[in-house]
Structure 1
Amino acid sequence: MIRKALASAILVSLLSACGSEKHTVIDNTPVIDTPSTPEEPITLPAGRLAFSSPDSNMVNIFDLSQNEIIDSFALTHPASALYASPNGRYAVAIQRSESLVEFIDGGIYLEEHGDHHDLHEDAPAANSFELLDVKPTHYVPVGEHALVFFDGDKEASADAGFAIISDESINETRVIAEHHYETYQHGTGQIRDNFVLATIRDVNSESSLPETIGLFELHNDHFHQEQTFEHLCPALHGSFQTEDYIAFACSDGVVKIKQDGELFTSNKIANPSSMPEGVRIGKFIGSEENNTIIGLSRGGVFTVNLETDEIAPFAWQSEGVTNYLAYSVSGDNEAVLVLDDAGFINVFDQHEQWQLTTRFQVIDQLDEEKSAKLIANKAHDISYLVYGNTVYQINFENQSVNELITVEQGIANLTWLGAFEEEAHEH
């Protein structure tokens, strides 16, 4: 991987193209530093939204307290995806086809000071850090770190790899550690203490999807492969972890791996005979605290019980509902949120074993030509729904829905940026 510190001019702050008074750029946003003590908890701000429009290299920063765009930044290329850094300070702008990842400082973050944190509310800023490696694709945050997986490219004879970053390392313009393969692959990985469980593709395979899982141990700024797990995972795509298990989705089931100190053991959960032919789980969502996770596929939704080794259909639909339009996990990672094709938000609580606990309407009239996306606010019980060209704010406490902004050019990618306090988990 090549890492290069560019002059901040790479990300040029520009006026928003929207042009209305509502979209005025605030160049003199004040710096607000709020100290706290153990006796005085911090009141966390609503945060900011970073979004981009289709075929545009601009990323706009919308302040949720001021209800307006306060700045815009030019990426080198249009973003294929936008994510938040692990602690929420930076927008991570993936540019897959151009093999580039750039970062924008959202300006809101907590700074640790011994037994307390200070809250910073600064103006958004360009960031000089970037990642240059071939086809960055999967972005997997775990706690205060995130794994960026680079697929490589068969035609260009470029090998795959992964890099570990954090908010601190982004601020210091460095990668914490990285690993390089000897072939390409559409892979993924899960950070687990000083280890990464990541995919391995056979160099002789005709598929870009891997079928083997390896254990990689951190050694300073790189990894050594310590183990190859015995259970194969054909056409591997999708991974997730709870406090007790790490799961990988295969065409014929799920490989689960259990950690006991530095000992990792694998097991295979086969797809049930009732699963339709050609259907496989390709993505997981859930809570780190619940060993039953939810598997998504093109042919349905399933629960995967990692304790009892059972995969079963998940009957999430209310009467009259046939499909979901968007899904996400709540900001506190305690619930799964699903927008159904009747225009209702469905809340499934992990404390209730994923039973439906709340359902209310957010869209009155659906348009099949409009796409939908859900993004959670990690500081408050709020989510944001992108539906067509409009962003709506959904407040779960009072079940209200408010329009935030409509963008004529459309919204291709959206992520929430801000400060939040997350409960620590021990593996």
Structure 2
Amino acid sequence: MTAIQIPFVKLHRHTLLALCTAAFVAACGGSSSEHGNSHHKIDTAGRLALAENGVATVRIFDLDSMGVTASHSLDHSPSSLYTSPGGRYVVAMQRMQDQVQFIDGGIWQEDHGDHLHDYKTASALVPWTLTGSRPTHYDLQPGKQAAFFMDGNSAATPIQNAGVRLITENSIAAKRIEASVDLAYPIHGLGEPVGNKLLTVSRAEDATTTLPTHLELYQRSGSGYTYDRRLETRCEGMHGSISSGAHTAVGCMDGVMLVTHTSATGVSDRKVSTPLRVGAIAGHPKLVGQFIAIATEGSAAAPPVTTRFYAINAEAGTSAELSVPGWGSASVRRAHAIDRSGRRFAVLDHTGSLRMTVRDGSTWAAGPVVNSVVPVMPAAAPWPTIVANGAKDVLYITDPVARQLVTVNSQTGAVVSRTALGFMPSSITWVGIGK
């Protein structure tokens, strides 16, 4: 998380409490009993933000009290929810309305020089809306920054071009973007920020689809970006990306494109092959240089349809099929997540069973299988979603049919609780202080 630097002045406890008046509640972090100078740490599981299907409302579910503590009305029903780079804010995408709104989750950590200070206050809607044509992909450099890729709109008059908007924790608080760049055409793409570099997309004239074929490197210059070069590796059907450590992975028609960040401004690129087209990639900050590529075998016209997984080692430049326990020839992924440790990959299949694969040293091994985590799978979207708690060994799964929140122990896979929500959840994200 980008820290807000506040000079630390050593005060007597009674002096500090006197300063923490109602006018300064936000600055002092709430009540003195919870956030006084002698209490820098808060043992909190954080909060969940839950979107209700088709409704412009996001509910904040406090995981310490296990109940909804606030409801925030947005301009429109969110198409998806994400978490800001430092874990404090809820990012509410409203793709078809060309905007993004933010909710302060109310739990954050500041660097006070000689200690890290935790805060917990009420959540609040941020009075700022980020606008742009078709915000679609949200690409995160955890703890530092995130980029929205705006697809643009070729059907608009005049045509609206694609672009990238960069945010940080501080820029959200200041109600502004950190940096931006606009492309010369609309395109469904991505924008991976790594330090002062940005990897975004272009399409060759002889492309066989409307998707990108190449990555382009930009260097940040103040509040903008300067074009550097197009990377040589060709990646037909480009879709899905994530960065971890010194590597960025991007899904291609015939494998995964790997970009290695060799210096503050330099990169190298190559591709590892997979037998199927990769359309999504999973990764984790603690799973440095390792990725899980997700592909689909078969189609409605040529069943059975099966989701396949590949373990990508960016350091070695290798790809190997990843075995998920009990995965059949017609098993389809409905949701997935990697837990806070970066060692457990959890997949919810089309039957509602949760299947876990555990990283043991340098290899993946079979983990627990829990049947009927979601007893009745929806016939159509919204599908169940999974999010990992960043502070505890817990996964949360939404059950749209039962209208429940399912809490799962990420180490054992066991269902801990089922909480009635009273509404149909469509998206979920976690906010809080990661550990």
- Under a length normalisation based on structure 2, what TM-score does the superposition of the two structures give? 0.81
* Residues 1:253 and 1:105: Cα distance change in structure 2 (over 3 Å): same
How far is 1:206 from its partner? 7.6
Q: Where does structure 2 lack aligned partners over 5 or more consecutive residues?
A: 1-28, 298-307
Which is further off, 122-131 or 301-310? 301-310
One of 267, 270, 273 as aligned partner of 2:273: 270
* Residues 1:296 and 1:43: Cα distance change in structure 2 (over 3 Å): same
Instruction: Provide the residue aligned with 1:148 in structure 2.
Output: 148
1:395-414 equivalences in 2 (<5 Å): 395-397=409-411, 400-414=414-428
Instruction: Provide the residue aligned with 2:312 in structure 1.
Output: 304
Conserved in 1, the CA contact under 8 Å of 2:105 and 2:122? yes
- 3-state DSSP of counterpart to 1:169: helix
* Residues 1:56 and 1:227: Cα distance change in structure 2 (over 3 Å): same
Which is further off, 95-104 or 243-252? 243-252
How far is 1:138 from its partner? 0.6
Letter in 2 for 1:295: A
Measured against aligned partners, the alpha-carbon deviations of 1:93-139 in whole angstroms (never above 9, x if no partner) come to 00000001000111111122012121111111121122110000111
2:351 maps to 1:337: no
How far is 1:405 from its partner? 2.8
Measured against aligned partners, the alpha-carbon deviations of 1:10-67 in whole angstroms (never above 9, x if no partner) come to xxxxxxxxxxxxxxxxxxx965653678xx8724301111111111001111111122
Q: Following the alignment from structure 2 to structure 1, what is the Cα–Cα distance between the partners of residues 45 and 116?
A: 17
Q: Following the alignment from structure 2 to structure 1, what is the Cα–Cα distance between the partners of residues 95 and 141?
A: 21
Instruction: Provide the residue aligned with 1:176 in structure 2.
Output: 178
1:14-163 equivalences in 2 (<5 Å): 31=31, 34=35, 42-143=41-142, 144-156=144-156, 157-163=159-165
Letter in 1 for 2:165: A
Instruction: Provide the residue aligned with 1:291 in structure 2.
Output: 289
* Residues 1:177 and 1:189: Cα distance change in structure 2 (over 3 Å): same
How far is 1:226 from its partner? 0.7
- 3-state DSSP of counterpart to 2:172: helix
How far is 1:245 from its partner? 2.2
- 3-state DSSP of counterpart to 1:298: strand
2:417 maps to 1:416: no
Which is further off, 301-310 or 259-268? 301-310
One of 388, 391, 394 as aligned partner of 2:408: 394
Letter in 2 for 1:215: L
Q: Following the alignment from structure 2 to structure 1, what is the Cα–Cα distance between the partners of residues 352 and 236?
A: 36
- 3-state DSSP of counterpart to 2:342: coil
Q: Following the alignment from structure 2 to structure 1, what is the Cα–Cα distance between the partners of residues 169 and 374?
A: 40
* Residues 1:63 and 1:228: Cα distance change in structure 2 (over 3 Å): same
How far is 1:349 from its partner? 3.2
- 3-state DSSP of counterpart to 2:110: strand
Alignment: residue pair count: 385
Q: Where does structure 1 lack aligned partners over 5 or more consecutive residues?
A: 1-28, 422-427
How far is 1:366 from its partner? 2.9
- 3-state DSSP of counterpart to 1:97: helix
Conserved in 2, the CA contact under 8 Å of 1:82 and 1:413? yes
Which is further off, 255-264 or 394-403? 394-403
How far is 1:243 from its partner? 2.1
Q: Following the alignment from structure 2 to structure 1, what is the Cα–Cα distance between the partners of residues 80 and 53?
A: 11
* Residues 1:365 and 1:230: Cα distance change in structure 2 (over 3 Å): closer
1:196-215 equivalences in 2 (<5 Å): 196-202=198-204, 207-215=209-217
CA RMSD, 1 decimal: 2.5
Instruction: Provide the residue aligned with 1:313 in structure 2.
Output: 321
Letter in 2 for 1:293: F
Letter in 1 for 2:432: G
How far is 1:182 from its partner? 0.7
Instruction: Provide the residue aligned with 1:26 in structure 2.
Output: none
Q: Following the alignment from structure 1 to structure 2, what is the Cα–Cα distance between the partners of residues 47 and 413?
A: 17
Sequence identity percentage? 26
How far is 1:174 from its partner? 1.3
- Under a length normalisation based on structure 1, what TM-score does the superposition of the two structures give? 0.83
How far is 1:256 from its partner? 1.5
Instruction: Provide the residue aligned with 1:194 in structure 2.
Output: 196
How far is 1:233 from its partner? 1.1
1:330-369 equivalences in 2 (<5 Å): 330-340=339-349, 343-356=352-365, 358-361=367-370, 363=372, 366-369=375-378
How far is 1:346 from its partner? 3.3
- 3-state DSSP of counterpart to 2:259: strand
How far is 1:204 from its partner? 8.3
